[in-house]
Structure 1
Amino acid sequence: MIRRLFYMSLGAGLAIWVMRRLQALHPQHVARRTADRAASMAGQVRDLTAYALDEAAVRETELRAQLKLED
């Protein structure tokens, strides 16, 4: 009896897991996840670019001060 209950609950759990995995493969879900990841990546690239430009400006100021160049 316990063995049957165990296997029945294992099968139900596995069926639920499979259904969720199959729903995650639906084209609308895939498109939404792809769009979210692309937007996130674009934000990260924007942040990296802003950081690099800020650091380049700081370094340029340091070099101009060292070389005594006018702006």
Structure 2
Amino acid sequence: MIRRLFYMALGAYIALWVSRRLQALKPDHVARRVAGRASYAAAEARVFATEVRRLAAGREHELRALYGLDSVREIHHDVKDGR
């Protein structure tokens, strides 16, 4: 009796788990997850690119000042491309 109850409970658990996995594979669920991850990756890439441009502009300013090049300018952080 206990053995049958155990296997019935195990079967119900497996059926529930499989149904949830299959639900996650529906196209609208997959599309929603992919869109969320893509927007997060794009936002992170924008932050990274902004930081790289800011650091590159700062380093360029330091090198131009160090070597006495004629076009030493102040760093403007609001300039889009960092030049």
Aligned twin of 2:56: 56
State the 1:24 CA deviation.
Answer: 0.4
Matched residues, percent identical? Answer: 56
Q: Which has the higher contact order (CA 8 A, sep 6+)?
A: 2
How big is the alpha-carbon RMSD for the aligned residues of Structure 1 and Structure 2?
Answer: 1.0
Give yes or no for the alignment of 1:30 onto 2:25.
Answer: no
> Could you say which structure has the higher helix fraction?
1
State the 1:62 CA deviation.
Answer: 1.2
Aligned twin of 2:2: 2
Size of the alignment, in residue pairs? Answer: 71
Query: 1:46-69 deviations in whole A, cap 9, x for unaligned?
Result: 011011101101111110121112
State the secondary structure of the residue aligned to 2:69: coil
In the superposition, the TM-score normalised over structure 1's length comes to: 0.92
Aligned twin of 1:44: 44
Stretches of structure 2 lacking an aligned partner (at least 5 in a row): 73-83
Query: 1:2-59 deviations in whole A, cap 9, x for unaligned?
Result: 2111111111110000000000011110111111011011011101101110110111
